[in-house]
Structure formats: structure tokens, C-alpha cells
């Protein structure tokens, strides 16, 4: 008789078919979420983490796009479970209305189960999640904000290892869902809280940071120091909050496009006709331009072709200038000409 527990976990073509994972959440086309796994978002207070979570939920509810995220729910699962352990009802209402507006719903959001979990302790949270996944058919995506409430002490290793390395992955695998967890960062560094961060980074399939700008006008969603197994890399994504309280892509509070360098006028004077000539070359290739880095590289090649040798910083400023003047835009996941 074979005694090793390993025999229960040997991978075969049959087990691969049985545990077939679906890609459900992407950022700029890169895979950040699959069924059976969870993604991890962290950031300091005021870095708009809940706004980003609202976009992820919207992308999943609409099975479409919101900011840089695109969502596709698992087969026969079109409901989202949002476990909110932080917000008071004033902010809950704002978050709910924001998701409703972004997902084109008036009043009730049919497939969103929004749970006010502020008063629940660790055991009630853990049991409540499992019970809800068992009771309610069709849940394909779950968000836990803030996941630190799943443990009594974020600085105790054994409990955190159990929750973030064992319980959460097994829950996602058992019910065939993807989950996103949110944690606050420490005040003194860019790590999340205690061992909750340590074991979340090890247990998740992707991780990222929300970063606030120094002037507070905009925020950045970054995978640079995170964990991303996708071969397609994700550029830093800049966003701001518009007058309706909705996250909007690529502009600061004063309406200027945001790039990885602060918008500023350039000292080098190039006639507008040369800028437009370079832009025409960039958008005449026939291939979609979906990332900022690709846009910068194509403009760099275009300026070189027309005899204007420019550094990367100057090119980014030229791009900002052209976009401010509405010569091109970012829409439906790609950069496109408007007019020139």
C-alpha cells in the first residue's frame, strides 16, 4: 500500500483537465488573476486603493474594461462578492454608487453582493466567506478589503501563514473563483503589514502597489516591485479622480496628461509640422499601440526617421504636448489618432 501523501497531489493530464484554470482578470493585457488563485494590492492610506478595487469589480461585473483592467468571469459565474471591513456607511454608499455608475446600473447592482463586514471578527469573516460561497450560486470573483482583519495579529507568523498560504488559495481553488485582497502598507516602508504581507506575497499569483503622487493630484498603479508571472509586462498606470468621483485614465487634476515624467514644456523647439509628421508615422504602422512604453519607443523611432534626434525625456514631453492638444487619445485599451 502506497503511504505517501504525495500520491494524492501528483499532476497528470487528468488532474490538469480537472483543475483547468480560467484567466479572469488582466491589467494592460497581462494576466493578473485566474480561477483558483488570488491577487494582492497594497498601498499606504490615501493611495486610492478602493478606487482601484472599484475598477476591478466593474471590469468583472461588465466583463469588459475599466481603467487598465479587463475582466471575464468564469463560465456560469457572473457575481462578485465584496467583503468590506473598513468603510463606514457614508463611504460604503459612495463606493456602491461609483461601481453602479461605472457598470451602467441605476440603483441596485444585480450581480454585486456588497457585505458590510466592519463588525465581524476573524472567525465570523472566515466562516462568512465560506458560507456565502456555498449558499450563493454564481460567485466568480471576491474582494477582501482589508484582509488584515482575517487574522488576529498580523505580526504572528503561524496564523498568517495558515490564512494567506493555505486557507485563501484552497478557498479559491475549491470554489473556482479568483480573489483580490487589499492590505495597508507600513508607515516606514513599502511593505504591507507584518507577516500578512510576507505570506500574501508568497501565496498570491500577482501583487502590486498603489502609490500616491507627492502633490496628491493623482495615483499610480505599479507592478514594478510586485510579482507578475505573465510574460507580458505592465507599465506603471497613472490615473486621477474626475469631478463625478470616477477614476479616469491618464490625466492629472488640472486636466493635463500624466506621463512617467512631470508634464513640462521642452526647451528644444521643433516645428509643429515635424511633430505631426512623426505622429503620422507612429500611427500608420497598422498595429495597435496598447502600452505607454510601446508608444514612446515608436515616437523615438519616428523622430529619428524625420531627422529629429531626441532623448527619451524630451519625447515623453512631446507626447504629453500632442495629447494635451487632442491629436490622439487612449480609448478602448489602445492609443488612437483623433485628428491632425
CATH number of residue 179's parent domain: 3.40.50.300
The total number of structural domains in the chain stands at 2
**Co-location of 162 and 285 in the same domain:** no
**Co-location of 209 and 61 in the same domain:** yes
**Co-location of 114 and 190 in the same domain:** yes
Determine, yes or no, domain membership for 112: yes
**Co-location of 299 and 176 in the same domain:** no
**Co-location of 161 and 223 in the same domain:** yes
Q: How big, in percent rounded to 5, are the helix, strand and coil portions of the chain?
A: 35, 25, 40
**Co-location of 178 and 139 in the same domain:** yes
**Co-location of 276 and 134 in the same domain:** no
**Co-location of 165 and 281 in the same domain:** no
**Co-location of 132 and 222 in the same domain:** yes
The whole-model pTM stands at: 0.70
Residue 3: other Cβ atoms inside 10 A: 6
**Co-location of 75 and 204 in the same domain:** yes
Determine, yes or no, domain membership for 257: no
Q: Domain boundary residue among 249, 284, 315? A: 249
Give me the tens of pLDDT residue by residue for the chain, a chain 340 residues long: 678 888 888 888 887 777 778 899 998 888 899 999 999 999 888 788 898 999 999 999 999 999 889 999 988 999 999 999 988 888 999 999 999 999 999 889 999 999 999 999 999 999 999 999 999 999 999 999 989 999 999 999 999 999 999 999 999 999 999 999 999 988 777 788 999 999 998 889 888 888 765 444 555 655 544 556 655 667 667 777 776 778 877 644 444 444 433 323 333 467 888 888 899 999 987 788 988 888 989 999 999 999 888 877 788 778 877 876 678 877 778 888 874 3
**Co-location of 235 and 147 in the same domain:** yes
Q: CA-CA distance, 92 to 98, in Å (whole number)?
A: 10
Show the domain range for 221: 20-249
Determine, yes or no, domain membership for 5: no
DSSP letter string, 21-60: --EEEEETTEEEEETT-EEEEEE-TTS-HHHHHHHHHHHH
- Could you tell me the three cell numbers for 202? 508568497
Amino acid at each position: 500500500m502506497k503511504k505517501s501523501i504525495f500520491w494524492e497531489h501528483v499532476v497528470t493530464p487528468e488532474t490538469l483537465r480537472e483543475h483547468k484554470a480560467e484567466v479572469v482578470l488582466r491589467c494592460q493585457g497581462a494576466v493578473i488573476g485566474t480561477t483558483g488563485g488570488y491577487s494582492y494590492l497594497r498601498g499606504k492610506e490615501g493611495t486610492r486603493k478602493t478606487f482601484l478595487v472599484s475598477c476591478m469589480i466593474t471590469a468583472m461585473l461588465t466583463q469588459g474594461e475599466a481603467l487598465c483592467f479587463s475582466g471575464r468571469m468564469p463560465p456560469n459565474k457572473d457575481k462578485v462578492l465584496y467583503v468590506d471591513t473598513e468603510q463606514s456607511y457614508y463611504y460604503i454608499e459612495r463606493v456602491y454608487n461609483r461601481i453602479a455608475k461605472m457598470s451602467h446600473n441605476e440603483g441596485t447592482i444585480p450581480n454585486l453582493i456588497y457585505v458590510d463586514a466592519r463588525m465581524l471578527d476573524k472567525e465570523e469573516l472566515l466562516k462568512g466567506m465560506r458560507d456565502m460561497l456555498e449558499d450563493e450560486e454564481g460567485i466568480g470573483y471576491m474582494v477582501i478589503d482589508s484582509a488584515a482583519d482575517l487574522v488576529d495579529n498580523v505580526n504572528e507568523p503561524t496564523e498568517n501563514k495558515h490564512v494567506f498560504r493555505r486557507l485563501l488559495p484552497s478557498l479559491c481553488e475549491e470554489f473556482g473563483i479568483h480573489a483580490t485582497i487589499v492590505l495597508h502598507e507600513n508607515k516606514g516602508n513599502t511593505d504591507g503589514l507584518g507577516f500578512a504581507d510576507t505570506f500574501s506575497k508568497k501565496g498570491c499569483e500577482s501583487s502590486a502597489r498603489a502609490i500616491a503622487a507627492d502633490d496628491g493630484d493623482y495615483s499610480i498603479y505599479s507592478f514594478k516591485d510586485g510579482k507578475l508571472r505573465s510574460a507580458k509586462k505592465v507599465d506603471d498606470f497613472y490615473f486621477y479622480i474626475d469631478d463625478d468621483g470616477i477614476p479616469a485614465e491618464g490625466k492629472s487634476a488640472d486636466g493635463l496628461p500624466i506621463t512617467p515624467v512631470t508634464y513640462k514644456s521642452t526647451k528644444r523647439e521643433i516645428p509643429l509640422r515635424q511633430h505631426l509628421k512623426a505622429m503620422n508615422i507612429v500611427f500608420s504602422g497598422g498595429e495597435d499601440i496598447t502600452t505607454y512604453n510601446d508608444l514612446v519607443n515608436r515616437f523615438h523611432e519616428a523622430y529619428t526617421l524625420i531627422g529629429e534626434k531626441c532623448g527619451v525625456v524630451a519625447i515623453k514631453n512631446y507626447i504629453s504636448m500632442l495629447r494635451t492638444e487632442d491629436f490622439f487619445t487612449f480609448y478602448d485599451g489602445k492609443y488612437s489618432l483623433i485628428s491632425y
